Amino acid sequence: MSKSAALTWDAVRQHAGRWLSAARPKTLPLAVTPVLGALLLALADTGRIAPLTALATLLAAAGIQIGTNLHNDAADYERGTDTGERLGPPRASAQGWFTSAQVKRAAHIAFLTSFILGLLLVLRGGWPILLLGLAAIAAGYAYTGGPKPIAYGPYGELYVLGFFGIAAVAGSYYLQTLTLSAGAISLGLALGLPAAAVLLLNNYRDFDTDRAAGRHTLCHLLGRRTARLVYAGLLLAPVPLMLWGGLPGTTWPVLAALPAAAWLIRQLHTRRGQALNALLARTAQYQMLLVGLYGLGLFLGWLRH
C-alpha cells in the first residue's frame, strides 16, 4: 500500500470512528435490553417468538436511541451546554469533528430509519404500534429540542422510565403476542428504573456544569445527598418487582443482582468527577444483568421440565 493510500485509509477510519463515537454505542444496551427482556417474557408466556419482528424491533429501538444521542449532541452544543469543563466523553459537535447541522442530519436519518422499520411493525401490531413509534420519535426530538427540552428540566428520569422501560417492554411484548399482561408492565418498570438511574447518575456527574448552563434537572431539585438515595432506590426496586410482579417462570435468580446493586451504590459515595464515567457504564450493565438473570431463571425452569 502506498503512503498516500495509507493516509487516505487512516482518514476514513478516523472519520468513521468519530461518527461511531457521536452515536454513543455504549448507550445502545439501554434501548436493546428492554426488547430482549420482552422477548424472554413472550417466550415464557407463549413458548415462541416471531424472529423477524424481533429483529425489526431491536433495530428500530437502536435507531431511536442513536437519533436521540445525535440530536442531543447537536442541540447541547447549540445551547452552549457542552463546554470545555464538561466531565463526560467528548461530543462530536463540541469537538468540531462535524458541524451541528451535519450531526442533526444524521439524527434525522436515524429517526427516519426507525420510522420505516416501524411501518413494517405496524403491519403486525396495528395502530397502537404506530402511535407508540411516533411518540417515541417525537420524544427523542423533544429530549433536547424545542423551547422546553425534557433534559433541561426535572422530568428526564420519568421520560426514561416511560420510554426505555414501560413502553419498550410493553410494545415489544405486544408485537410478539398481540396482547398485554401484568408481567409486561412489571418488567417494563423493573428495567426502566435502572435506565432512569443512568440518567440520574449522568446529571449527578454534570451537576455544576449543568447548573451553569441553566439546566434544572432532578438532581438540582433533590440535591446530591438525596439524589444518591434515589439512585439506590432505582437500583434496588427492580428486584422485588421481578420477584413478585407476576412474571412467568423462575425469578429467584434475580436476587443475585443485589450484591451488584450494593457495589454500585457504594461507588457513588466514593467516586467524583470523571471517575463517574465508568460507573455510568456499570449502571447500564446492571439493567442487562437483570435480564440475564431472568433468562437464567427461565432456562433453569425449562431444565426441570
Asked if the structure places residue 2 within a domain, the reply is: no
The total domain count for the chain is 1
| Residue 98: closest CA among 17, 27, 8 | 17
Whether the CB-CB separation of 100 and 89 falls below 8 Å is answered with no
| Mean pLDDT, residues 65-87 taken together | 77
Asked if the structure places residue 119 within a domain, the reply is: yes
pLDDT at 199 over 80: yes
Single-letter code of the amino acid located at 243: L
pLDDT of residue 98: 87
Q: What are phi and psi of 202, to 5 degrees?
A: -60, -45
| Mean pLDDT, residues 85-109 taken together | 82
- Mean pLDDT over the full length of the chain: 89
Whether the CB-CB separation of 190 and 181 falls below 8 Å is answered with no
Give the Cα-Cα-Cα angle 213, 272, 24 (nearest 5 degrees). 65
Percent of the chain residues topping a pLDDT of 90? 61
pLDDT at 3 over 70: no
Whether the CB-CB separation of 287 and 194 falls below 8 Å is answered with yes
pLDDT at 82 over 80: no
pLDDT of residue 277: 85
Asked if the structure places residue 31 within a domain, the reply is: yes
Asked if the structure places residue 6 within a domain, the reply is: no
Whether the CB-CB separation of 107 and 74 falls below 8 Å is answered with yes
Domain range for 265 is 19-304
The rounded distance, in Å, linking the Cα atoms of 68 and 143 is 7
- The conformation of residue 82, written as its DSSP 8-state character, comes to -
pLDDT at 201 over 90: yes
Confidence class for position 83, pLDDT limits 50, 70, 90: low
Asked if the structure places residue 8 within a domain, the reply is: no
pLDDT of residue 87: 59
Q: CATH number for the domain including 281?
A: 1.10.600
pLDDT in tens, 269-297: 887 777 788 898 899 999 999 999 999 99
Q: What global pTM score does this model have?
A: 0.91
Asked if the structure places residue 248 within a domain, the reply is: yes
Confidence class for position 108, pLDDT limits 50, 70, 90: very high
pLDDT in tens, 38-67: 999 999 999 999 999 999 999 999 999 999
Confidence class for position 166, pLDDT limits 50, 70, 90: very high
pLDDT at 107 over 80: yes
| Mean pLDDT, residues 236-251 taken together | 94
- The conformation of residue 186, written as its DSSP 8-state character, comes to H
pLDDT of residue 85: 57
| Mean pLDDT, residues 77-97 taken together | 71
Asked if the structure places residue 234 within a domain, the reply is: yes
pLDDT of residue 187: 97
| Mean pLDDT, residues 92-121 taken together | 90
Grid cell, residue 188, equals 417494563
Query: Which has the higher per-residue pLDDT, 138 or 229?
Result: 229
Asked if the structure places residue 159 within a domain, the reply is: yes
3-state DSSP helix/strand/coil % of the chain, to nearest 5:
80, 0, 20
